[in-house]
Structure 1
Amino acid sequence: MGLFERIKSAFVSSDGKVTHPEATFATRPDTVYAPVSGVLLSLQEVNDQVISAGLLGDGYAILPTGSGVLYAPVSGRVSVVTVTNHAIGLRTDDGIEVLIHIGIDTVKMDGKGFTRLVEANDEVRAGQPLMTFDVEAIKLAGYEEVVACVISNPDAFSNIEHVGDSGTLLGGRPLVKLGDPLLVARKA
């Protein structure tokens, strides 16, 4: 067995099912981390009135550049999953409620191109794969693949610091990698 086959066998089970490895990064209980790698956007730049107005919460959007795997940005419990698998909510032990929404209008895809890897009430660790999404399927369906990651209960905190800006730029836009800090929630 060659090196490629050994590496591949570590991620593909005997029934052909792909296992996504966990991402590892240092975490703090008051911080929300990037669930995907990509180009960082403000919520106001998202082409969706609900997201751009901040009605889902306070946070960032990321135009993904990676593999189409969404990872847990915090450790906690899965509070909600949509039947179409385009959004997921998490709640930390410290009361941070995080909502991650994949794509614009992707609810209309009826779950095609999305695979959920966790269920409601599951305990998850930061860096654990939550779901997969097919970026090309989203684009072919005519939708944007932007991933919004927000704290959906910002009123529970005295301050939410936006710490996602990185020194790495692509076309003048900041890049984030999976596990980079995005938001820090401070209580009074």
Structure 2
Amino acid sequence: MGLFDKIKSAFVSSDGKLTPPEASFATRPDTVYAPVSGVLVSLKEVNDEVISAGLLGDGYGILPTGSNVLYSPVNGRIGATTVTNHSIAIATDDGMEVLIHIGIGTVNMNGRGFTRLVESNQEVRAGQPLMTFDVDAIKLAGHEEVIACVISNPDSFSAIEHVGETGTLLGGRPLVKIGDPLLVAKK
């Protein structure tokens, strides 16, 4: 077995499906980290009335760049998944509830372009792959690919600090990479 075959076998499961590698980064229990690399946008700029009004929670929108893998932004337990695999919720031991919603109107794709890698009630670590998504399929279906990452129970905390600003800008907007801190929940 050559070097390429050894590396490839590390990412292919026993059923022959490609398994994305985990992302590794330092974590704190009060912090939500970027689940994808991309350009940060304010939730108010997201072209969805429910998300932009903050009805799903407090956080950021991210326009993904590069990878098509969504990683866990916290250590916790999968609280809910959807049949259409376009969103996922995670509850932490400290009572934080994180919701990640991929795309605008993607519920209408009925799961096409999304592959969930975890199940409800499963323990996950920050940096663990949760699902894959196909940005081209999302765009081809006429939807926006923005990913909302929010703390869905902000009233359980005294404050949610937005710490996702970085020194790297793309088009005048902050560019984050997987594992960069986004939100800090203050008790």
The alpha carbon displacement at 1:2 in A equals 4.4
RMSD: 1.1
CA distance in 2, matches of 1:99, 1:70: 12
Distance 2:2 2:176 in 1: 34
- Is the partner of 1:146 in helix, strand or coil? strand
Q: Distance in 2 between matches of 1:104 and 1:71?
A: 19
Aligned length: 187
State the Cα distance separating 1:5 from its structure 2 match: 3.3
Q: How far is 1:13 from its partner?
A: 3.8
> Mapping of 1:126-137 within 5 angstroms?
126-137=126-137
The whole-number CA distance in structure 1 between the counterparts of 2:141 and 2:81 is: 22
Structure 1 runs not aligned, ≥5 long = none
State the 1:20 CA deviation: 1.1
Identity within the alignment, %: 81
TM-score (norm 2): 0.97
Equivalent residues in 2 for 1:78-89, closer than 5 Å: 78-89=78-89
TM-score by length of 1: 0.96
Q: 1:37-84 CA deviation, whole Å, 9 max, x = no partner?
A: 000111011110100110000000100002211000000010100110
1:158-186 residue CA offsets vs partner (Å, 9 max, x unmatched): 01000001000111111000000000000
C-alpha separation in 1, matches of 2:143 and 2:104:
6
- Using the TM superposition, give the Cα deviation of residue 6 of structure 1 relative to its aligned residue in structure 2, in angstroms: 3.1
Alignment of 1:33-44 (within 5 A): 33-44=33-44
Flag structure 2 segments of 5+ consecutive residues without an equivalent: none
Corresponding residue for residue 77 of structure 1: 77
Q: Aligned partners of 1:81 and 1:172: how far apart in 2? A: 34
Alignment pair present for 1:158 and 2:149: no
